Amino acid sequence: MRILLVASAFNSLTQRVHAELRERHEIGVELALGDDLLRARVARFRPDLILAPMLTTAIPEDVWTGYPVFIVHPGPMGDRGPSSLDWAITEGASRWGVTVLQAVAEMDAGPIWASVEFDVPACGKSELYRNEVSDAAVSAVLTAVQRFESGAYVPQPLDYSRPDVTGRLRPFLTQQVRRIDWATADTATVLRTLRAADSQPGVLDELFGREYFIHGGHNEDRLRGEPGAVIATRDGAICRATVDGAVWLPQLRPRRRPGGPATFKQPATDALGADLPAGIAEVPVSPAEAAVRDTWSELRYREDAGVGYLEFAYPGGAMDTRQCRRLLTAYREACDRPVDVLVLGPERDFFSNGIHLNVIEAAEDPGAESWRNINAMNDLVEAILTTTDKLVIAALAGNAAAGGAMLALAADHVWCRESVVLNPHYRLMGLHGSEYWTYTLPQRVGAEVAEELTTRTLPVGARAAAGLGLVDKVIAGSTAQFRDRVRREAESLAAAPELQNMLLAKKQRRAADEAVRPLADYRAEELAHMHRNFFAAGESYPRLRHEFVTGVKPLATPAYLLG
């Protein structure tokens, strides 16, 4: 069939649906940037079906009366309104769902083509969206498309008298409702409120006399203080006391002043700057200690059955200079441990999305900060590439893009959850890219495919990535099932009699590659391009970065999506 995907942004779910459906159908993508643009594209594309995986605006009536239009709604049957996931988390729902319904005049009230439910873990809204919601949405979309294609299925009208129609119409969740009263709210309430607003829109609050949106929140198990007081810092996050505990707040966004420039999220201590009173203690935690505590840390390290697990997790998958350096330190410490197999990657969600564009944008000299950041990233990648006495596995429970995808390729094995989407390219940010990709990518997929992946800039689903040799193993199931399988396979590698031979072969391969062309040479050439991207006049990177960080929408669907 010809299916036109209409979406407010080519976001993770839209990319995933795109990757799944294009295996069987002819797919077009149109960003919802205006009714007339949409009408024109529909007339040109002549779809059999229009599917909206993520839409924040309404489809014009003449389009949904002229064509079948399926809307993916992130709520169970009967749920309606613009803040579904926000309400689910605010109210502590343990089950939620995704429903594919047909567009009609009334928002989210059309006949139902498919609905899939899931258990809700304790996490932020966008993390939930990229994991459980995404998995359920893909499953519901595939069912709905198949039912539509069969021509025999009659969609179910929305009927609130049915026992399986559990949702209801809910209003937009305002900042007034989200407001945290630090003098009375307990930790559980604060965390639910913060998670319901993470990563957007954040919770509006006041700190040291200024207004900020708080993005993200995590429990702290030991530190205590006056409710509402900032009592500690750690790696750019601040810790704030509640009536019965404390929470870590990793990111803040200053409230935009009327007529002032757009603001964006930054590490909390960067956003507060000089407003952060002196004397608030930096309270570090080691990766090994963090692994056995209920506190916030970007890094956790644990060992089991001869395998070391170094987990890292960054909001939005973005890694600034300091984060890269801390991860490198933790990686080196892990390398000193008596284990033969090392597994790298977060428990859930983004593996990495490369250098931290927000921190760069906020820097006094963004070019210089870009340079520091890419060099810190390269140091990390180099350390992985030159580890010859251990087998290193990159375990991708979630998506990876740009330098973050190339970071994964530095490992000996790349294992991927089936629902992962990779974007192994830099061009959309106006960058040549580094992270030794000119060494690792062609080696994995060949020069021709490397060229195609980096210039066509389309997302690649996990199965297609495995077909290309970009990743080595694809594991189906939830993030918990993925972790379990990674653990079992890593342990069996660690116990394998041929492990020492594998390590020897790895050492020889690296030495042979180094003799053909030293790693330093790849780095120097990549960085020469990057230096131009960062500093030369007329380069698109500063503009593209600014637009990305401040959320500027394109005027029309970008050409690479038109096919």
Say how far apart CA 318 and CA 352 lie, in whole Å. 6
Torsion sign over Cα 460, 464, 474, 511: negative
**47: DSSP letter:** -
Q: Does residue 398 bind ligand COA (CB under 6 A)?
A: no
Say how far apart CA 130 and CA 126 lie, in whole Å. 6
- The contact pattern for ligand COA, residues 174-213, with x = CB under 6 A and - = no contact, is -------------------------xx-------------
Cα atoms found within 13 Å of the Cα of residue 405, Cβ hemisphere only: 27
Q: How far is the CB of 504 from ligand COA (least distance, A)?
A: 33
Amino acid at 320: D
- The contact pattern for ligand COA, residues 126-155, with x = CB under 6 A and - = no contact, is x-----------------------------
- Look up residue 79 and give its two tokens: 């749920």
Phi, psi of 211 (to 5 degrees): -95, 135
Answer whether 301's CB lies under 8 Å from 287's CB.
yes
- How wide is the angle at C-alpha 339 spanned by C-alphas 333 and 342, nearest 5°? 70
CA nearest neighbour of 135 among 480, 409, 414: 480
Which DSSP string corresponds to 236-303? Answer: TEEEEE-SSSEEEE-EEEEPPPTTSPP---EEHHHHHGGGSPTTPPB----HHHHTTSSS--SEEEEE
Answer whether 1's CB lies under 8 Å from 50's CB.
no
Q: How far is the CB of 357 from ligand COA (least distance, A)?
A: 4
Smaller CB distance to ligand COA: residue 76 or 316? 316
CA nearest neighbour of 267 among 254, 245, 250, 279: 250
Smaller CB distance to ligand COA: residue 102 or 373? 373
Say how far apart CA 80 and CA 74 lie, in whole Å. 9
In total, the chain counts a number of residues equal to 563
Q: Does residue 401 bind ligand COA (CB under 6 A)?
A: yes
Which of 246, 402, 450, 464 touches ligand COA (CB under 6 A)?
A: 402
Total of residues contacting ligand COA (CB under 6 A): 23
Q: How far is the CB of 7 from ligand COA (least distance, A)?
A: 10
Say how far apart CA 234 and CA 74 lie, in whole Å. 34
Which of 331, 426, 437, 482 touches ligand COA (CB under 6 A)?
A: 426
Answer whether 78's CB lies under 8 Å from 166's CB.
yes
Give the range of 24-32, 181-189, 313-321, 497-505 binding ligand COA by CB under 6 A.
Answer: 313-321
Q: How far is the CB of 158 from ligand COA (least distance, A)?
A: 29
Q: How far is the CB of 419 from ligand COA (least distance, A)?
A: 12
Q: Footprint of ligand COA on residues 474-503 (CB under 6 A)? A: none
Q: Does residue 387 bind ligand COA (CB under 6 A)?
A: no
Q: How far is the CB of 200 from ligand COA (least distance, A)?
A: 5
Which of 242, 399, 440, 454 touches ligand COA (CB under 6 A)?
A: 399
Q: Does residue 353 bind ligand COA (CB under 6 A)?
A: yes
Smaller CB distance to ligand COA: residue 423 or 438? 423
Give the range of 41-49, 228-236, 423-431, 523-531 binding ligand COA by CB under 6 A.
Answer: 423-431
Say how far apart CA 476 and CA 419 lie, in whole Å. 8
Which of 266, 295, 423, 438 touches ligand COA (CB under 6 A)?
A: 423
Q: Footprint of ligand COA on residues 8-47 (CB under 6 A)? A: 11-12
Give the range of 35-43, 114-122, 268-276, 314-322 binding ligand COA by CB under 6 A.
Answer: 314-322
Smaller CB distance to ligand COA: residue 411 or 490? 411
- How wide is the angle at C-alpha 11 spanned by C-alphas 9 and 16, nearest 5°? 130
Give the range of 23-31, 284-292, 304-312, 356-364 binding ligand COA by CB under 6 A.
Answer: 356-364
Answer whether 198's CB lies under 8 Å from 175's CB.
no
Amino acid at 154: V
Q: How far is the CB of 261 from ligand COA (least distance, A)?
A: 17
Cβ contacts of 471 within 8 Å, gap of 6 or more: 396, 408, 414, 415, 416, 422, 462, 465
Q: Footprint of ligand COA on residues 357-386 (CB under 6 A)? A: 357-358
Say how far apart CA 6 and CA 4 lie, in whole Å. 6
Give the range of 328-336, 354-362, 506-514, 525-533 binding ligand COA by CB under 6 A.
Answer: 354-362
Phi, psi of 475 (to 5 degrees): -120, 125
Q: Is 230 helix (H, G, I), strand (E, B) or coil?
A: strand
Smaller CB distance to ligand COA: residue 80 or 265? 265
Burial classification of residue 174, based on how many CB atoms lie within 10 Å of its CB (0-12 exposed, 13-18 middle, 19 or more buried)? exposed
Helices then strands (H, E): number in the chain?
22, 23
Q: How far is the CB of 33 from ligand COA (least distance, A)?
A: 17
Q: How far is the CB of 353 from ligand COA (least distance, A)?
A: 3
Smaller CB distance to ligand COA: residue 199 or 443? 199
Which of 75, 76, 217, 317 touches ligand COA (CB under 6 A)?
A: 317
Q: How far is the CB of 229 from ligand COA (least distance, A)?
A: 27
Q: Does residue 355 bind ligand COA (CB under 6 A)?
A: yes
Q: How far is the CB of 17 from ligand COA (least distance, A)?
A: 12
Smaller CB distance to ligand COA: residue 11 or 443? 11
Site residues for ligand COA per CB under 6 A: 11-12, 126, 199-200, 265, 316-318, 353-358, 399, 401-403, 423, 426, 429, 431
